[in-house]
Structure 1
Amino acid sequence: MPDREKKTPERDAGVLIIGLGRFGTALASTLDRLGQDVLAVERDERLVAQWSGRLPLVEADATNPEALEQLGARDFGVAVVGIGSSLEASVLVTANLVDLGTPQIWAKAVSSEHGRILQRIGAHHVVFPEADAGSRVAHLVSGKMLDYIEVEDGFTIVKMRPPKEMQGFTLAQSNIRQRYGITVIGVKSPGIEFQYATPETRVSSNDLIVCSGHADLLERFSARP
């Protein structure tokens, strides 16, 4: 979905994370570890007790706009709505953040219908963590890919072992781009730092290659022996 027009948050404005399910706790923990100014909000007292002392958090019901005002939600440049168990709560919290004028609102959706509602009421970014993870894992378990990132509109970046026809040859010699429509971005050899690819880059059987291109072309290329 296209991002909505949004304001640019101030530097160090902080991230407000609402909902401490698996998605919210993973996000809050990572941002906190990276030194970001984070505040988590959760209304379930059991989750608050579980994460108390491990994350900066408050117990509050974010579906109540007054509660958001009291905890200083206006001061945050980014808010993430990680609620997936209740569509009503997810929509109410997102609407409250829109009313507060939050510069960037990221919201988790559990279905395409949920996502459309969140976008229509003003969420700037809608994410589908379960669907995205499932799609990524499906690509990994079905072929030789070791990592898979779909960027946008089918454009994808993958990490994989090189097919036999590349091994022992330079990229110019194997002519992969012209033959398969994909681009080798770089090569990682054992014990050597990642190197961006050039026509003279030689690929061995022990290397890992990073390629980009349309998902369908990469799928076919990764299936080669």
Structure 2
Amino acid sequence: MKDEKNVYLVIGLGRFGQAICRTLAEKGKQVIAIDRTRQLVEEMAEVVDLAAQADATDSDALTKVGAKTADIAIVAIGSNIEASILATTILQDLQIPHVIARAENYTHARVLARVGANKVVFPERDMGERLAALLIHPWMSHFVQVPGSLFHVGEINPIAEMIGKTIEELDFRTHYSSVILSISRDGERFVPKKDTVIQENDMILVAGQKEDLEKWVEEKKE
């Protein structure tokens, strides 16, 4: 996929689709938004570059609103499973480079994958899993997962055993299976050296895999 000049096509302007549109628009991305319902289209008219009332299961209708110009299409249709499958199929026929589709269940997801969706997402399931993970591991609210990898990056205070020791003494990579990317101290951020001493009020930016991070990050008092 291309980076900065992608054109995004969002089909289905319910809460999920509108959230995608607003976020992309806030990031300065070019967005085409489509829905059958006029009211939903009007709500997005001032948000995106183009909002159009159209039937996403009609190839000609999609072509007329510029679907073929899209680099990435998101089929955000909710409960109308048939419509989401048809729209995904049409987008593949239109040779959209990357199609992301929302699934209601695993059977729906398998069908979407078979008709050409490059990625299938479960918004409700993913949000539920994320919330549960945050309840179990509150420290995760300070971390984000690096897209396309198992690594999480986040900023946190050092645990007690780190304070007063140098990076070399801690042997961070071996002992904690993580990497310190930088340290924020007294309003300044810097990349630590081997002889840098960890202080109590430091904020350390670390990267590591979730299972490695949780072995020691949870020792930190919330």
Q: Do these two structures clear the TM 0.5 threshold for a shared fold by scoring above it? A: yes
Residue 170 (structure 1) aligned with residue 160 (structure 2): no
Contact 2:25-2:47 at 8 Å conserved across structures: no
Contact 1:136-1:148 at 8 Å conserved across structures: no
Where do residues 196-207 of structure 1 align in structure 2 (5 Å cutoff)?
196-207=191-202
Alpha-carbon shift at residue 62 of structure 1 (Å): 0.5
Q: CA RMSD in A?
A: 2.6
Aligned to 2:53: 59
Q: Which amino acid aligns with 2:169?
A: Q
Structure 2 distance, partners of 1:83, 1:187, is 44
Q: What do residues 113-161 of structure 1 show as CA deviations (whole Å, max 9, x unaligned)?
A: 4333222211122233333333333333333514233445744334333
Aligned partner (choices 177, 185, 189) of residue 189 of structure 1 = 185
* Unaligned stretches of 5+ residues in structure 2: none
Q: Which amino acid aligns with 1:217?
A: D
TM-score (normalised: structure 1): 0.81
Q: Which amino acid aligns with 1:103?
A: P
Alpha carbons of structure 1 residues 170 and 108: separation in structure 2 relative to 1, 3 Å: farther
Q: Which amino acid aligns with 1:53?
A: E
Contact 2:21-2:47 at 8 Å conserved across structures: no
Alpha carbons of structure 1 residues 135 and 190: separation in structure 2 relative to 1, 3 Å: farther
Alpha carbons of structure 1 residues 190 and 87: separation in structure 2 relative to 1, 3 Å: farther
Aligned partner (choices 24, 32, 35) of residue 25 of structure 2 = 32
Aligned to 1:45: 38
Paired residues, number: 217
Alpha-carbon shift at residue 22 of structure 1 (Å): 2.4
Alpha carbons of structure 1 residues 191 and 47: separation in structure 2 relative to 1, 3 Å: same
Aligned to 2:12: 19
Percent identical across equivalent pairs?
34
Aligned to 2:84: 90
Structure 1 distance, partners of 2:36, 2:197, is 56
- Helix, strand or coil at the partner of 1:203: coil
Q: What do residues 148-184 of structure 1 show as CA deviations (whole Å, max 9, x unaligned)?
A: 3344574433433321111232222222322232222
Aligned to 2:205: 210
Contact 1:9-1:103 at 8 Å conserved across structures: no
- Helix, strand or coil at the partner of 2:128: helix
